[in-house]
Structures are given as structure tokens and as C-alpha cells.
Amino acid sequence: MKTLIAFIFGCFFLTMTFGQTNNTPLKITRLKKNFYIYTTWKKLDRAPFPANAMYVVTDSGVILIDTPWDTTQFQPLLDSIQIRHHKKVVVCISTHSHSDRTAGLEFMKQHGIKTYTTFLTDELSIKDNDKRAEFHFTGDTTFTLGQYSLQTYFPGEGHTKDNIVVWFPKDKILYGGCLIKSVDATDIGYIDDANIKAWPATINNLKQKFPNPSFIITGHQDWTNKKSLDYTLYLLKEYKKKS
């Protein structure tokens, strides 16, 4: 009987974790092969707003790119990865200092995960009392774990002065985070820490650096449309017209 109850609970947990509706606090979607996009939500203007992040399953463990925005989903994410892939997260890289990227850094560190940001992100995290990573790097950096390598790249200021992107060269996946706006966005979004003047050039730098990505992952909303770079430029032009 105990075995049957445990099995039923496990099935219920998997259904809740991997359900593909916005009613679940954690949504995990397979991008390709060992690449997964996970989404959590936080209430903005009394409505839930999605934040996308990524993880990659390697032979030597899991790489996490950015942490959940919803603080209740730190442990469920780790549990979901363990149940689904039978592997632990061993590396976590956050792409800028805002809480939708860094909120879980201390939690991950407490669970033995090596956490990384740039030195600039760490300086901003200290200034704004945001969560900090244990390790820091300067300049564009390559990380290798198992069979996968990724490259961090700073294309210039935009959404923030410290925003970096992550490029997976073998699979041509560009993880842009909040620097790149979804085609679902109706405006340029939160800009208190933005460099609006530099942002268009930064996007054009990305287009030149990574000319034919197979996927472009945006920080919020729908991430399936590869026109998001051009759409970000459009939103910036519209913002400039109104300002």
C-alpha cells in the first residue's frame, strides 16, 4: 500500500511539475535534445507575468542559466530536474543583477551549486542589496561541463549596464535574457537601469556576432519567435518616438 501511495504521489508531482499550462507555478519545456526552458511567474499589476530561464543536461550534471523569479520554486525546480533527469544542478550562471535572474543564487549556493556572475553584476548586486554569486568572472568567458560548452558575451549596455547573453555554439542557441524583448511585448518594459541610447547598437552587435541562431530565448513572455531581435529594435524606435 505504501508503494502504491508513493507511486500515485509521484505521478501527481510530475503532472503538476511538467504541466504545460500557465496555472502551474513552474513550467518546463524541452527546447531540443538536452536543452530545456523553464518559466516561473510573479505578480505585476495584480497579474502573473512570466520569466524564462534555461537549463542544460550534461553528462557531468546540469547547467542552470538564471534562477527562478518565483522564490517558492527554487526547490521544486531542483526536484523536478532530479526526478526527470536523475542529475543534480552543479553550475548556475546569472545574466544580470535583477531578481528575476539572481533571486535564487544564495539558495543554489547552499545546495552545493557553483554560482557565477560577472564582477560588474556582483558590484550592482552589492549596491542594490540583491543576491550574490559565489564566483565571478571578467570579460567573455567559456564554460565547459560534460559534452557542452557555452560562451558568455557582453554585447554592450541595454536593459542594464551588466546584461550578458549566453551562446551555445554547437547548437546555435542564443540565450538573450531580458536584453531581448519577446514579440509578445507591447513596450520596452522596465527601464530604470537601462541605457536606452546604447541598446540599439547592442542588439546590432548581437546580430553581427551570432548571425543565424537556431533559437533566441527571451527573458519574458513567448520565446519561440526568432524575430525577437528585430522586434526589440522596433520597440526601441517606438519608445524614442514617444519620448
Q: Contact, 94 vs 167, CB < 8 A? A: no
- Taking only the tens of pLDDT, the chain with its 243 residues reads 333 333 333 433 333 344 444 578 999 999 999 999 999 999 988 899 999 999 999 999 999 999 999 999 999 999 999 999 999 999 999 999 999 999 999 999 999 999 999 999 999 999 999 999 999 999 999 999 999 999 999 999 999 999 999 999 999 999 999 999 999 999 999 999 999 999 999 999 999 999 999 999 999 999 999 999 999 999 999 999 998
Rg from Cα positions in the chain: 18
Q: What is the CATH number of the domain that holds 11?
A: 3.60.15.10
What sections of 19-164 are H helices per DSSP?
74-85, 99-102, 105-110, 119-128
Conformation bin of residue 71: beta by default, left when phi > 0, alpha when psi is -120 to 50 = alpha
Distances from the Cα of 84 to the Cα of 81, 109, 181, angstroms: 5, 22, 30
Which residues of 66-212 form beta strands (DSSP E)? 89-93, 114-118, 135-137, 142-145, 148-153, 165-168, 173-177
Q: Which single residue is written with the C-alpha cell 568567458? A: 141
Query: 3-state DSSP helix/strand/coil percent for the chain, to nearest 5?
Result: 30, 30, 40
What's the domain count of the chain?
Answer: 1
Residue 29 is part of which domain span?
2-242
